[in-house]
Amino acid sequence: MTELNLIEATKADLPDAPFEGRHLIGGEWRASAGGATFDRLSPSHGMLVSRSAKGGEAETEAAIDAARAAFDSGVWSRISGKARATLLLRVADLIEANVDRIALLETLESGKPISQSKGEVGGAADLWRYAASLARTMHGDSHNTLGEDMLGVVLKEPIGVVSIITPWNFPFWILSQKLPFALAAGCTCVIKPSEMTPSTTVMMGELLVEAGVPAGVVNIVLGHGQPVGALMASHPEVDMVTFTGSTAVGKAISVAAAGTLKKVALELGGKNPQVIFPDADLDGAADAVTFGVYFNVGQCCNSSSRIIVHEDIAASFVDKVVALSRKVAFGDPLSPNTQVGAIVTSQHQDKIDGYVRDAVAAGADVCLGGAPLSVPGLPGQFYQPTVVRGVTPDMAIAREEVFGPVLSVLTFRTLEEAITLTNDAAYGLSAGVWSENVHTCLEFARRAQAGTVWTNTWMDGYPEMTFGGFKQSGQGREIGPYGLDEFLEVKTVAMRIGRTRANWVSAG
């Protein structure tokens, strides 16, 4: 393959021994009954990164019991917002003091570049601080207009015990999109990280203990979807499950939760387009498309895995993207210069490659990449930056989540056609539009079926701005005030003032 910006293996201080992860249950760190463990090998370096206790039904039941008892005791659910905020702020400080240590494990388990891991871990502290601000400012409503003898208040209360199930692609960040908001609301939690990236969730547990979280308020069970995640989704003592992961598992969780009608919040997959009009800042758009498709090796729910570009500029725009793609630094995630790291597993690498091969067989044309990439000095799996044009809307590569560094190029002629193509997807997570015409941008933003629309930018996010999906990209919202509301029940209290109520049964 010609000219890529390849970062070979760099000399780096790897840990001397694997990280040993245990469950956090009722304030104690525990191994599994019987001592079962599972291992995670680095997707880039091949080394053993972590050995974790492998949870089963017994550990999951114990963690749920601990969370239930802690919630019902009021030790967290009934304390002041100020007290909750104080703890969340302490956790934020501890996160910032431990960025390097946590980021190294995040990179070794996930394969993402070290600079990105540091950004995500350090950035997560801001989510904790924002959630702390909500803990102190949330409030219900009052109704003083119901008549002289009535006063109404609507209270917001924590929903109860929350199961938090997270994926491998942003382990620390996604946990921080959920946990501080659940804690700000007054909930207690049982957390299951992905079996591929368990260690930084354990590190978060260590920080929470150091910050002084009461025993049982946050519990962590390490292990697989079966049985741990499935039990967390179906258990009658759990009041809500919040899940980020694949749409297929999200559907299974909805089914499992239906038996007890517990609340379900789902952040699922996406097939997110960026639409490029001829009047756009085309250099800016090409850079954003390049970022959008390769960030986290495309293993990102917000990956802009398809572009819908106006026919008149399609050829020259794709040339720009291909030229930029060659400059993106792919390779050793431990190098501070690397922008794109490893693919999470070899099975996933095969799946990505399969999408590209099937598209070619169906008549598409690979104009860059389209094959695995070997990085000198590293045994792990990497994939070339890949651009596929001549993609038609019926192809799997245009409709399904490839979850790799693969861009599909589709074209349009009119705004109407661009909106139809944008909405022609089972997913509805995010979408972007590039044009200098504000009317074009606003019409697109209003008609795109997506939880987030970016105009003349891609993937900017703020704790204040809520995030979530339309259609099969999910239900419920995270971060922002709406993210807090997910973890709250609403209760109406109607209060009669004085003995003014007319009897229903006549006294005589």
Q: What is the dihedral of CA 298, 301, 303, 305, to 10 degrees?
A: 90
In the complex, least distance from residue 195 CB atom to ligand NAD, rounded to whole angstroms: 5
Please pick, among 187, 301, 367, 441, the residue that the annotation labels catalytic.
301
- Indicate the DSSP class of residue 502: P
In the complex, least distance from residue 226 CB atom to ligand NAD, rounded to whole angstroms: 6
Q: Are strands 28-30 and 23-25 parallel, antiparallel or unpaired?
A: antiparallel
Structure token pair of residue 247:
């749409």
Q: Which is nearer to ligand NAD, 276 or 479 (CB)?
A: 479
Q: Are strands 240-244 and 263-267 parallel, antiparallel or unpaired?
A: parallel
Q: Which is nearer to ligand NAD, 257 or 368 (CB)?
A: 257
Closest CA to 246 of 225, 262, 261, 228: 225
- Per-residue x/- track, 382-421, ligand NAD (CB under 6 A): -------------------x--------------------
Q: How far is CA 422 from the centre of its chain?
A: 22
- Looking at the DSSP bridge assignments, the partners of residue 407 are 387
Residues 256, 180: Cα–Cα separation, whole Å: 25
Among 42, 98, 176, 194, the residue binding ligand NAD under the rule CB under 6 A is 194
Structure token pair of residue 385:
């930056």
Among 44, 52, 77, 169, the residue binding ligand NAD under the rule CB under 6 A is 169
Residues 252, 249: Cα–Cα separation, whole Å: 5
Among 32, 242, 244, 305, the residue binding ligand NAD under the rule CB under 6 A is 244
Closest CA to 193 of 167, 219, 155: 167
187 annotated active-site: no
Please pick, among 109, 195, 267, 486, the residue that the annotation labels catalytic.
267
By CB under 6 A, residue 114 contacts ligand NAD = no
Closest CA to 133 of 168, 176, 89, 177: 89
Element (H or E) spanning 255, and its range? helix 247-258
**Window 287-316: residues binding ligand NAD (CB under 6 A):** 301
By CB under 6 A, residue 245 contacts ligand NAD = yes
By CB under 6 A, residue 179 contacts ligand NAD = no
Residue with tokens 């393959």, as numbered in its chain = 1
Among 132, 184, 189, 252, the residue binding ligand NAD under the rule CB under 6 A is 252
Closest CA to 191 of 175, 206, 170, 215: 175
Q: Which is nearer to ligand NAD, 77 or 272 (CB)?
A: 272
By CB under 6 A, residue 246 contacts ligand NAD = yes
**Window 127-166: residues binding ligand NAD (CB under 6 A):** 165-166
In the complex, least distance from residue 399 CB atom to ligand NAD, rounded to whole angstroms: 14
Residues 265, 120: Cα–Cα separation, whole Å: 23
In the complex, least distance from residue 280 CB atom to ligand NAD, rounded to whole angstroms: 26
With CB under 6 A as the contact rule, which of the stretches 76-84, 134-142, 220-228, 418-426 interacts with ligand NAD? 220-228
Residue with tokens 């942003």, as numbered in its chain = 170
8 annotated active-site: no
By CB under 6 A, residue 111 contacts ligand NAD = no
Instruction: Please give the residue ranges that form the binding site for ligand NAD (CB under 6 A).
Output: 165-170, 174, 192, 194-195, 224-226, 229-230, 233, 244-246, 249, 252-253, 267-270, 301, 401, 429, 469, 474
Report the catalytic residues.
267, 301
